[in-house]
Homo-oligomer: A and B are copies of this chain.
C-alpha cells in the first residue's frame, strides 16, 4: 500500500525535493509559516513520520526552522547568519567582514580547465566572470575572481552580484561550501587590485558553493593581502 519508489529514492527524500522546489519557486515565501506535519502528510499521502523525516532534512539544510508550539517557518536565505555562514575569514571582532565591495568587471567567457573541474562543466561551457575587490575603509583587502555557470544564471544584473541574492533570484537553494585555505603568490590582477607587488604572498581562499542537490553554483578564488596588520594583537 506504500507509494511506489520509481527513482529508487526513499520517499522522505522525494518529499524533501518537492518541498524544496516549492521554496525555490517562491510558492512559500521567506518568513511564511507552512502547514503542519499532519496536513502535509495527508496532502502527499504519506505517514506523519515520513513527512517528519523530510522536514528534518530541510531543517538540517537551513531551509526551514521548526519551533515547538509555534510551527514551521521558511528561512530567509538572504538574512544575516544564513548568508554569511559560507565565509570562514573573519574580522578582528569575530564577525564576518563588513567592508565595501566593488565589482570591477562582469564578463562572459568559456570555461577553463580548472573552472570546468571545479564547477563540473565540460571545458568550453559558458561561464560568467566577476572580478571584485573587498575594502576595509580605504584599503583594498581582498581580490576575488568569481566564476558562475552561465546555464544557471541566464542574465547577470550589475546591481547585485552577491551570490545569495543571485541564487535566490534564480530559485537556487544553497547548501554547502567547500573551502580550501592556503598560501600563494599574488597573481598580476590581484597585485594590481591590492596595490602590492606581483608574486608577493597572499592568503588564497578556494571555495566551491553548491546547491542542496550538490550542483556547483559558484567557484570563488580569493586572494587576501597580508601586507599590513589590521587586527588585534596576539594575546
Residues of chain A whose beta carbon lies under 8 Å from any beta carbon of chain B = 88-92, 94, 112, 114, 179-187, 190, 199, 201-204, 221, 223-224, 226-235
Q: How long is the Cα–Cα vector from A202 to B204 in the complex, in angstroms?
A: 13
Task: Provide 23 A-B residue pairs closer than 8 Å at the C-beta atoms, listed in order of the A residue.
Answer: A88-B88, A88-B181, A89-B181, A89-B182, A90-B180, A90-B181, A91-B182, A112-B235, A114-B235, A181-B181, A183-B229, A183-B231, A184-B229, A184-B231, A184-B233, A184-B234, A187-B233, A201-B228, A201-B229, A203-B203, A204-B234, A223-B234, A226-B226
Can you name the residue of chain B whose Cβ is closest to the Cβ of A88?
B181
Q: How long is the Cα–Cα vector from A204 to B89 in the complex, in angstroms?
A: 10
Whether A88 contacts B234 in the complex (CB less than 8 A), given A184-B229, A226-B203, A226-B226, comes out as: no
Q: Which residues of B contact A229 (CB under 8 A)?
A: 183-185, 199, 201
Q: How long is the Cα–Cα vector from A184 to B190 in the complex, in angstroms?
A: 20
Q: How long is the Cα–Cα vector from A182 to B182 in the complex, in angstroms?
A: 13
Q: How long is the Cα–Cα vector from A186 to B231 in the complex, in angstroms?
A: 11
- B94, B186, B187, B203: the one within 8 Å of A180 (CB): B94
Q: Which residues of B contact A204 (CB under 8 A)?
A: 231, 234
Q: Which residues of B contact A187 (CB under 8 A)?
A: 233-235
Q: Which residues of B contact A227 (CB under 8 A)?
A: 201
Q: How long is the Cα–Cα vector from A201 to B181 in the complex, in angstroms?
A: 16
Q: Which residues of B contact A201 (CB under 8 A)?
A: 226-229
Q: How long is the Cα–Cα vector from A127 to B235 in the complex, in angstroms?
A: 16
Q: How long is the Cα–Cα vector from A232 to B138 in the complex, in angstroms?
A: 30
Q: How long is the Cα–Cα vector from A112 to B227 in the complex, in angstroms?
A: 30
